[in-house]
Structure 1
Amino acid sequence: MTRIALVVSDVDGTLLTKDKVLTERAAKAARELREAGIAFTITSSRPAIGMGFLIAPLQIDLPVGPFNGSSIVSPEMRPLEQSLIPADAAERSVDLLHQRGIDIWLFTADAWLTRNPDGDYVPNEQRAIRADPTIIGDFAPYLSSACKIVGASRDFDLLARCEAEMRELLGSEATAVRSQSYYLDITPPGRNKGTFVTAMARRLGIALDQVATIGDMHNDVAMFEVSGLSIAMGNASDDVKSKARRVTTSNQDEGFANAMEMILAENAQG
């Protein structure tokens, strides 16, 4: 096996438990990667404001990839590269979600905007990203500065159907993919977790086959496709697992730590 020089991890459903907790064993495993000379960073559908609390416990010194990797942000949360959804595509995304009765969130580089403070998943997002939404009456003034638009719904089948509709509606103008069974993310075109992984490998001057990626959702498949070693979480769907080279245990059973310990052991064997 090619020695791993960089690990890129998803956050929710992978690095964190279902209660959004970073376990001590997971944090220790990430730190041990650094001690072994293996670079480590994270990419997530989260906004940058929801990733900063992980930097210190994981000792991350590389850029991170919020908004499904469509932006690149320094460990100090300073934007290095930022892509936006074209305003017309953002408007059509919002219109379709509204027509389907799906709760809508819009994220700019530094704000979370919603028209509905009582949406089903607002408390979940507040707990996850450790920030509160800004309540607005109209998305129109913000469509030209949208880093991500989210449709949130308890009707998982509706959201899956809307994902297909959104992809047909937007074509190559934006990316539409579910980051959770209850979240449909619309992000800038041509950028995803795979392009983030490629950018990090280029930054470090290493080949992509020296990169390991780990995740649990459909938006993680883009990074599975470009990395030498791809690992799906035990809590991933069978479809996502089929896209990875290996499967670890679930995020409730230290799947991230188990996978990192496997990488460390195999690297040590040469």
Structure 2
Amino acid sequence: MVFKLLVTDIDETLSRGECVSPEVSAACRRLHENGWSLMVATGRILATAISHIRGIEAFLPAIVYDGGRVMDPASGKPICETLMDTQLALEIVTAGWDHPVELQIIGDERAFCRRSDSMTRDFFLASGIPVDHSLTRPSVPHDVFRVIFHGSPVHIRTLQEHLKTLFHGRAGIVQAGEGFLDILPPGVSKGSALNSWLDTCPESPDIIVAAGDHHNDLELLAAAHIAVAPQDAAEDVLRVAKVIMPPADRHGFAVMAEWLLKWEVTRDEITGSVVL
């Protein structure tokens, strides 16, 4: 039996917002019926990704925390994970503390921030996720998976260059969406997490299709036989994508799914780029 694996980012790739559209859910059901296995690879924590996972019935282990954890969606337990060195996390928080951006420190299915980080606080509280918003000075909990800064794209780019100067070789520093900057332990990415999980599988997929839209998806797309991106993806992502689908607000993932079903794509079939 052919092992066909489709791995997808969530935000601005699979969907926009906190639920999967009926069009995308229906297309994913048809993929399952035709032998495709679905897997999510997201920067979200499991608790904020679970509705999307259920919406497309992606019951394989989920790559979450931008690759910092691979977790079982059914039990909520980690399969593998990489913590950030606590001292490094503290240095990163300190370096970004005074910049005009919001701060998120991500622990075990919970977040830490300052009272002034209102968008961060409100998002996690609305999602029912524990969030400690009492930070008044740079500090971190014992277990940290990553640090996130969120703000205007101009401020984020400035902070990215500053942190790259300070932490080159010590941390992964990558834009993870419009206005989001993720700081990860060295070597952590969605792509490395996928490869680590594949190493544990009894058989390798005959074909891997991966879909993503931003810089934190580049290593994931590189690990696939066929890379897919929405047409409003970051330029660096569009340059490596073999297949360009419509954006998430036009149910592009459903269009791509129907294309996969129609053409029964093989890993060697695409030689140029395809625009759907």
TM-score, length-scaled by structure 2:
0.86
1:23 paired residue number = 21
* 2-structure distance, mates of 1:55, 1:221: 21
After superposition, the C-alpha distances for 1:180-207 in whole angstroms (9 at most, x for unaligned) are: 1211111222121101221343344455
User: Is the CA contact 1:234–1:250 (under 8 Å) kept in the aligned structure 2?
Assistant: yes
Task: Give yes or no for the alignment of 1:65 onto 2:63.
Answer: yes
Q: CA deviation at 1:118?
A: 4.7
Q: CA deviation at 1:87?
A: 1.4
Q: CA deviation at 1:209?
A: 6.8
**Structure 2 unaligned blocks of 5 or more:** 270-276
For residues 155-166 of structure 1, the aligned pairs below 5 Å read 155-166=152-163
Name the Cα RMSD after superposition.
2.3
DSSP-derived class of the 2:105 partner: strand
Percent identity reads 19
Q: 1:263 to 1:203 in 2, by over 3 A?
A: farther
* 1-structure distance, mates of 2:149, 2:130: 17
For residues 202-213 of structure 1, the aligned pairs below 5 Å read 202-207=199-204, 210-213=207-210
1:97 paired residue number = 96
Q: 1:229 to 1:63 in 2, by over 3 A?
A: same
User: Is the CA contact 1:152–1:183 (under 8 Å) kept in the aligned structure 2?
Assistant: yes
Q: CA deviation at 1:166?
A: 1.8
Q: 1:268 to 1:102 in 2, by over 3 A?
A: closer
Q: 1:268 to 1:240 in 2, by over 3 A?
A: closer
AA of the residue aligned to 1:83: T
User: Is the CA contact 1:83–1:188 (under 8 Å) kept in the aligned structure 2?
Assistant: yes
AA of the residue aligned to 1:171: H
Q: CA deviation at 1:21?
A: 3.1
2:250 paired residue number = 253
* 1-structure distance, mates of 2:265, 2:178: 37
Q: 1:72 to 1:139 in 2, by over 3 A?
A: farther
DSSP-derived class of the 1:65 partner: strand
1:182 paired residue number = 179
TM-score, length-scaled by structure 1:
0.88
Q: 1:249 to 1:130 in 2, by over 3 A?
A: farther
1:214 paired residue number = 211
DSSP-derived class of the 1:256 partner: helix
Q: CA deviation at 1:124?
A: 4.9
Q: Which has the higher helix share?
A: 1
* 1-structure distance, mates of 2:171, 2:100: 21
- Paired residues in the alignment total 264
2:30 paired residue number = 32
Q: CA deviation at 1:106?
A: 0.6
User: Is the CA contact 1:27–1:57 (under 8 Å) kept in the aligned structure 2?
Assistant: yes
* 1-structure distance, mates of 2:239, 2:124: 29
2:241 paired residue number = 244
User: Is the CA contact 1:6–1:201 (under 8 Å) kept in the aligned structure 2?
Assistant: no
User: Is the CA contact 1:45–1:179 (under 8 Å) kept in the aligned structure 2?
Assistant: yes
2:114 paired residue number = 115
* 2-structure distance, mates of 1:175, 1:206: 30
After superposition, the C-alpha distances for 1:242-265 in whole angstroms (9 at most, x for unaligned) are: 121221110111111111111122
User: Is the CA contact 1:208–1:228 (under 8 Å) kept in the aligned structure 2?
Assistant: no
Task: Give yes or no for the alignment of 1:79 onto 2:78.
Answer: yes
Q: 1:109 to 1:139 in 2, by over 3 A?
A: farther
Q: CA deviation at 1:172?
A: 2.7
